[in-house]
Amino acid sequence: MAVRLDGKAIAAEIQADVAAHVEAEASRGRTYTLAVILVGDHPASATYVRNKQRTADKVGIASQLIQLGEDISEAELLAEVERLNADPAVDGILVQLPLPSHVATTEVLQRIDPQKDVDGFHPVNAGRNFVGLDAVWPCTPAGIMEMLRRSDIDVAGKHAVVVGRSNIVGKPMAMMLLEANATVTICHSQTPNLEEITRQADILVVAVGRPNLIRATGVKPGAVVIDVGMNRVDGKLTGDVAFAEVELVAGAITPVPGGVGPLTIAMLMANTVCLGEWRRGVGVN
């Protein structure tokens, strides 16, 4: 039976570390601010934003919510981003997705100052990460790496297989594992004989959005299985891994919910602090 990796507990550890750093810097007169732009009244987006603000408050990071109407023009939204770029009090800027269909999401995300790009999505930051320069990584893969580290799971020398190639999870996840000295294979929807490849993995990360994509027959005994998927099946939240059967084969596994999800918001807070310190020319302890 696999060890269940508790994302909630690890997220709490990360938040505690961030809170301690924020408190220490407050004594020196330094504060941190995260600005979140929410367009429209999409219920799920509003819930995500509330959770982010609640966590920011918990760790001592100030948050600004800029709530804009669904009918806002792209030019008006870009002007709001530029205003936040120019505000020296703002350390991190996050535009909650999805945006309305009349707004070009890529254009908006690329307009965020890379030094305030708390999600780590800007091409400048993606490029800096690729060549090993300082930049924040996207929150979900960064959280997974923290989970592995804090769970004493050694990545170096292991064969890691990443299923999924998105710019948000799959690609940066592969790069982070490679930077940690894993040998990395990337699979996707066009990969033939997927099970043959996933069965070779010492560390298997699945981020596709297809429930039960990974069955027990596709998992190496004792492997670490990280399930990033979030799918609704018969009203219940489930991942990309057939949890009940894979748990019997794997050495460690993340549940859904309660696995990777909590880490994303925790790393958002850590990224805000990192960006604030880098802009001030101060290292993060």
Would you state the pLDDT for residue 283?
56
Three-class SS state of 34: strand
Q: Give the global pTM.
A: 0.95
Question: What would the CATH number be for the domain defined by 28-114?
Answer: 3.40.50.10860
Task: Supply φ then ψ for residue 187, to 5 degrees.
Answer: -115, 165
Active site includes 15? no
Contact 213, 163 (CB under 8 A): yes
Tell me the helices (H) and strands (E) count for the chain, helix number first: 10, 11
Q: Helix, strand or coil for residue 139?
A: helix
pLDDT in tens, the chain (285 residues): 999 999 999 999 999 999 999 999 999 999 999 999 999 988 989 999 999 999 999 999 999 999 999 999 999 999 999 999 999 999 999 999 999 999 999 999 999 999 999 999 999 999 999 999 989 999 999 999 999 999 999 999 999 999 999 999 999 999 999 999 999 999 998 999 999 999 999 999 999 999 999 999 999 999 999 999 999 998 899 999 999 999 999 999 999 999 999 999 999 999 999 999 998 876 554
Q: What is the phi/psi pair of residue 253, to 5°?
A: -155, 150
Task: Out of 15, 96, 113, 240, pick the active-site residue.
Answer: 96
Q: Where are the domains positioned within the chain?
A: 28-114, 139-262
Question: CA angle, 7 as apex, 18 and 162 as ends, to 5°?
Answer: 105
**Is the fold of 28-114 the same as that of 139-262?**
yes
Answer yes or no: 53 catalytic.
no
Residues across the chain: 285
**Four-CA torsion 142, 257, 152, 175, nearest 10 degrees:** -30
CATH number of 139-262: 3.40.50.720
**Which of the residues 91, 113, 117, 119 is marked catalytic?**
119
Our answer to whether residue 58 is catalytic in this structure is: no
Name the active-site residue from 15, 52, 116, 220: 52
Reference 173, options 155, 194, 191; nearest CA is 155
Closest CA to 16 of 273, 260, 227: 273
